[in-house]
Structure 1
């Protein structure tokens, strides 16, 4: 009897699932899942350890397309083949983008005199100027494998230098770096798809050779860039201070000059998204334009009653955000936001609902097909996660309101009416912040290892100010050609002063935001939960609950490294307990140490202690207590991990040889050195290995202090296209640092390639 009851229950449940799934398909969930499967194919391509060819993925697309056509009579099988077809199409799109980009990357550090054309010139907060330059030629030495575009900083630039100027100067060029630790942000990947083949700095001030215009297409780009810089200079001079830098960032997307302390305060409070031109800014610009136009046209009732003024306002708003996209520099975040908002405004033009999941899916498909590499970046993931959550929540609330029987509103006094509107507005802003923050939390932790505990308070306090500031920004942009933008920029600066003060105050009260590493499984499970909850419209959305619970439970299922090594073998960091992170250099790269602190959940940096050779006896390092920081004598530094493992850092093979008798890990900052230790239990890491395989994470055995440590490198072999340049560096080939040959009267210096 009980078995029959269970069978009946299961049969009823199965029938309910079939009915709900059929309903979802009828409501168009199949189209909503198109970008999901495309993104899955893209992610699969970029997660491969080897670079695939193009022919087999194309054959898979053709095969899946044929199978999908043949299986149309079997709906379930047809859906499976369509999903496979979309995944294969995403894979092919990513492969084609990689093949099409093919950015030439600098192989090794070198100094050369370069000549090129300025693409972008950005003033930075530290007083230097960052130049993006298209290389034309190099000399002394001539690079045989030179990159097409580089990014260099300069102390000063000539006053007549602008975008399109032909410049020359002696510079030190550096190849793109890899991740600062395994599974972190890959700068080589970003440089490859941004077209930047190298970076560095001018050793002297660059000089302008010519200001003649380049080719027609480049001339238009230079004119737009010069217009952006002129507008930014005008805003800075009118507003002044850091407020002027933020105002320039909001209007024309030039944000290199914002002081770092203000950037950090906004990151800690969770409002840094305000600085990056994205969906918020595009929506505020479009909303302001539509509001002003509809208000202005309402003054002419005869015209507005006979004409679709809403469509007119939407069309002009579309043109306005297109102009905003161009003047803001066409950065990826703004480009993606423009596509998303343009779809919504076009929907208004065709009498369709603007804020729907279908429109979001269309914009996601466009972004994935145009720039597949963005799928694996934090900007794409967080923006679409937040938007999907908000659209899904709005649709759910609208359905709830539609099914609810409401009594006619009672008459209220003006004061009660105003207070209710303010309460509803504050509640809506709070829910918006909660929903968007919850949807993006795990993505933020995965990419940045930080959270903003007081982001809700900060956004509630600042968003009204930002709304007014963006209204003033639009007004100042409209009035700028006529010279009447001064009052609007002045008020905009006052609003930004209040925003900076509030973010700084909340940042002081914000607890430590570093949360360490989380499991990739939790991020994938959370993604599935988000997709299910936002796209399903029936009770099937409840299927998101187990995935969400599983995502929370798997967050800690990741092992934190016991030691991190930079890819140049210059810096090593080791947690020693009590929230302290011991490093081997008194002066270290601030960006790297900050990233390592967040990943290892450290609060303080402990620099090494340096002693003279006769001031400290390290003949028996085993006596060092566990959790000791690094002690340095000459070319050798020694520290001890809390597990008991001893770490030795040496500048060359000779200084590393004595450490073979007691150390569990030996790091040698010398590309010409080879393993001096005969004991296989000692892990030796040389500069050459790190140059080939990138930064490293080391794991000691907590059960046995004598077991060989495990190590994981950031870069896998065989190299993907954005890492191919690593094999050509001097360090990767086991060569000593390049030294300029002495001048000889009999033989002139010979040209040297970028790989030498």
Structure 2
């Protein structure tokens, strides 16, 4: 303003970088208030002489105060306030915090592209944006916008480089062959089978011209002595990676491509160990040594603890979790505590915290040494070493790798006398993860972990700002019981707030990816987290004592703690309502992401800008349409909701994983299997299809299954293309489980979906028009064309080429008329 003095300007310069909350909480830092002006009293017609400023009549009451505040609002004033707050945010370093945000935006843009770009386009975009950013340094606002565009272009380029670097050869079609390869890892499944990850060295009978480099094959049993690094051989049926079980769901071929897995399958018999003439590379030998150490530790834990507790203990300590019973997994998912099983930030933080606490306790026994040495840095270095060892022994899974990077940045900050838990350190961690594995940005693990961490760090910073500069009276003297009670209540309150903040930040991401929410997760986490903290302390203690053979007491107590955790999760799971919440809109997730970024990174009143985005996200949650029919990519399974929370399927024994996903997406609680009738007709014939009641299960006879949707549309599933004509007269949707089929109806009102279409385009969702019976159904496939690199294998299967299943040719007859054996 023109009326400001030079001294006031200097005063404002002196307080740049101070939090607004600290500024207004500390009167010494606040700018001096202007001198009081005379007030025009009621009945006076003019102002005192010498006073030119307009003066309003003071009023009392909340309504009057609100009117005064609204009266001061004007668009120029709002613009000036926003500009001032934005300048303050830039001074505090928000530009650096937004670097991973714009990098992630570029990654999302790349993976959302309809067609695979070449290297020329992203490189050209990076060069162009860099030149424009350099040329625009004289215009700060334009420069910032161009820098944001440059970061987006770098994100696109990073994702393109990772896709090119992965280059995983994917199996194109189902085939049986003799596989020989080197074992990378073994997983002992809860079902009793053993899953082997194998680096393929050769295939015979037939020899695959485009064999995958790494496959996952399960076996009913394996020879004694098989371990990581062993060379095994066996006849196996290999399957290509599957796509999404429905449109907009998790793409397993995407995950397999970036994990280097080109196919999966099962051994048709017991594989055998073959002599290994060639020595494996050094890196492979080191990886095998680490994997064998993990398996030995897991076997020792299972033998010491036993039961489901032993499986969970092995999962917590070395990341081996394939043997955990399904009912325990489901109970932990329903109660929202499954994150305890996956080695991630919680486990890394507990290990690092335990090691630092133990080290500080040991140093406290030597006061002379502690007073002269930076023991906090020594403890941080020991914690950094411990989580690095934990990362290696846990198998270097993606979630643990990301958590290690985050904690390593924080511990290194302690070594250099910096604050450990800051948004800047989180940004550095996110940049590192995006640089190493850009594809993780579009996965649930990255999104949920960083959303929860950002929300917690932002909430902690806001709470610290709120209390900065406040004078608090000394705590009154309490008895021991009162002291312990207060600490217990504070701990429970902190744990509850942590659960609420993290759960709120990740809720929509969990619903988008898994279509489920845990209504009682707050109570479950409050009940379980103290147990888990003790269990992880015992896990660290047992790891330290294991080389000396003194770990049995810690493992025994750890097993008892896990027994209590299992009992609590089972008890809460039995009382938890249905957790399937159905589908939500994509724009809702994008809007809540924007709101979360603003709310956690802004430190001024610009945080209020998150409210409109959060409100818009809530208003658009249900802005999506639920499919009327879902079809699997192999054309074998069809499902439709028939009301009353029931989902009708056309097979008596459907795929459990697929059906479970469909139930959550369609908010169904029960599966209704079809009613089967013999070929003679029994109680039902195809001619009766027009009289089917709406909302009834599938009726199957003569190779045809028929059901009527509650909207009135009739759905037919046909096994042989020759039977398609039987349903043309009455069906609105016909699914043909035959790759050689075609549209035999030639009726625009009848939608015919063949096995060849599904093989090329993936699973499908069908939508009927409830307002018009003469409008054909609309279909949406899971995979778009042209293919991206992780979908290229789809066009090579027999079904995608319209060929029938492969059959071995009959052997020629012998001269005596008998067929050759």
Q: TM-score, normalised by structure 1?
A: 0.97
The answer as to 2:777 corresponding to 1:709 is yes
Corresponding residue for residue 28 of structure 2: none
- What are the Cα deviations for residues 579-621 of structure 1, in whole angstroms up to 9, with x where unaligned? 1100000001000000000000001100000112331233142
| 1:509-528 paired onto structure 2 within 5 Å | 509-528=575-594
In structure 2, which of residues 678, 681, 706 is the aligned counterpart of residue 614 of structure 1?
Answer: 681
Per the TM alignment, residue 204 of structure 1 is displaced from its structure 2 partner at its CA by 0.6
Corresponding residue for residue 569 of structure 1: 635
Higher relative contact order (CA 8 A, sep 6+): 1
Gaps of 5+ in 1: 747-756
| 1:211-230 paired onto structure 2 within 5 Å | 214-230=280-296
Per the TM alignment, residue 180 of structure 1 is displaced from its structure 2 partner at its CA by 0.1
Corresponding residue for residue 742 of structure 2: 674
Per the TM alignment, residue 745 of structure 1 is displaced from its structure 2 partner at its CA by 9.5
Corresponding residue for residue 18 of structure 2: none
In structure 2, which of residues 605, 625, 634 is the aligned counterpart of residue 559 of structure 1?
Answer: 625
Q: Distance in 2 between matches of 1:502 and 1:227?
A: 32
In structure 2, which of residues 308, 319, 333 is the aligned counterpart of residue 267 of structure 1?
Answer: 333
The answer as to 2:235 corresponding to 1:140 is no
Corresponding residue for residue 634 of structure 1: 702
| 1:645-656 paired onto structure 2 within 5 Å | 645-656=713-724
Corresponding residue for residue 698 of structure 1: 766
Corresponding residue for residue 754 of structure 1: none
| 1:396-545 paired onto structure 2 within 5 Å | 396-545=462-611
Per the TM alignment, residue 7 of structure 1 is displaced from its structure 2 partner at its CA by 10
In structure 1, which of residues 566, 579, 582 is the aligned counterpart of residue 648 of structure 2?
Answer: 582
In structure 2, which of residues 360, 369, 381 is the aligned counterpart of residue 294 of structure 1?
Answer: 360
Q: Distance in 1 between matches of 2:557 and 2:474?
A: 41
Corresponding residue for residue 184 of structure 1: 249
Aligned-partner SS, 1:210: coil
Corresponding residue for residue 753 of structure 1: none
Q: Distance in 2 between matches of 1:438 and 1:8?
A: 33
Corresponding residue for residue 40 of structure 1: 105
Question: Is the 1:164–1:211 contact (alpha carbons within 8 Å) kept by the matching residues of 2?
Answer: no
- What are the Cα deviations for residues 484-527 of structure 1, in whole angstroms up to 9, with x where unaligned? 00000000000000000000000000000000000011100000
Q: Distance in 1 between matches of 2:802 and 2:712?
A: 32
Aligned-partner SS, 2:476: coil
In structure 2, which of residues 72, 78, 83 is the aligned counterpart of residue 13 of structure 1?
Answer: 78
Q: Distance in 1 between matches of 2:243 and 2:306?
A: 37
Gaps of 5+ in 2: 1-53, 55-66, 815-821
The answer as to 2:689 corresponding to 1:624 is no
- What are the Cα deviations for residues 321-343 of structure 1, in whole angstroms up to 9, with x where unaligned? 00000000000000000000000
In structure 2, which of residues 310, 318, 331 is the aligned counterpart of residue 252 of structure 1?
Answer: 318
Q: Distance in 1 between matches of 2:731 and 2:788?
A: 34
Q: Distance in 1 between matches of 2:315 and 2:644?
A: 40
- What are the Cα deviations for residues 185-236 of structure 1, in whole angstroms up to 9, with x where unaligned? 0000000000000000000111011367521110000000000000000000
Q: Distance in 1 between matches of 2:77 and 2:476?
A: 46
| 1:88-237 paired onto structure 2 within 5 Å | 88-210=153-275, 214-237=280-303
Aligned-partner SS, 2:218: strand
Q: Distance in 1 between matches of 2:228 and 2:489?
A: 49
- What are the Cα deviations for residues 306-330 of structure 1, in whole angstroms up to 9, with x where unaligned? 0000000001110110000000000
The answer as to 2:461 corresponding to 1:361 is no
Q: Distance in 2 between matches of 1:745 and 1:163?
A: 46
- What are the Cα deviations for residues 342-383 of structure 1, in whole angstroms up to 9, with x where unaligned? 000000000000000000000000000100000000000000
Q: Distance in 2 between matches of 1:555 and 1:304?
A: 55
Q: TM-score, normalised by structure 2?
A: 0.90
Aligned-partner SS, 1:564: strand
- Which of these two proteins has the greater Rg computed from alpha carbons? 2
Q: Distance in 2 between matches of 1:302 and 1:682?
A: 87
Moved more, 699-708 or 16-25: 699-708
Distance 1:74 1:471, change over 3 A: same
Q: Distance in 1 between matches of 2:546 and 2:474?
A: 47
Per the TM alignment, residue 6 of structure 1 is displaced from its structure 2 partner at its CA by 8.4
- What are the Cα deviations for residues 454-482 of structure 1, in whole angstroms up to 9, with x where unaligned? 00000000000000000000000000000
Aligned-partner SS, 1:73: coil
Corresponding residue for residue 801 of structure 2: 733
Moved more, 562-571 or 404-413: 404-413
Aligned-partner SS, 1:561: coil
Q: Distance in 2 between matches of 1:585 and 1:105?
A: 30
In structure 1, which of residues 22, 47, 53 is the aligned counterpart of residue 87 of structure 2?
Answer: 22
Q: Distance in 2 between matches of 1:382 and 1:8?
A: 38
Corresponding residue for residue 85 of structure 1: 150
The answer as to 2:725 corresponding to 1:657 is yes
Distance 1:461 1:660, change over 3 A: same
Q: Distance in 2 between matches of 1:533 and 1:622?
A: 56
- What are the Cα deviations for residues 268-295 of structure 1, in whole angstroms up to 9, with x where unaligned? 0000000000000000000000000010
Per the TM alignment, residue 743 of structure 1 is displaced from its structure 2 partner at its CA by 4.0
Corresponding residue for residue 375 of structure 2: 309
- What are the Cα deviations for residues 628-679 of structure 1, in whole angstroms up to 9, with x where unaligned? 2110002001100000000111011111111111100010000011111021
Q: Distance in 1 between matches of 2:214 and 2:469?
A: 58
Corresponding residue for residue 415 of structure 2: 349
Q: Distance in 2 between matches of 1:292 and 1:718?
A: 57
Q: Distance in 2 between matches of 1:689 and 1:513?
A: 33
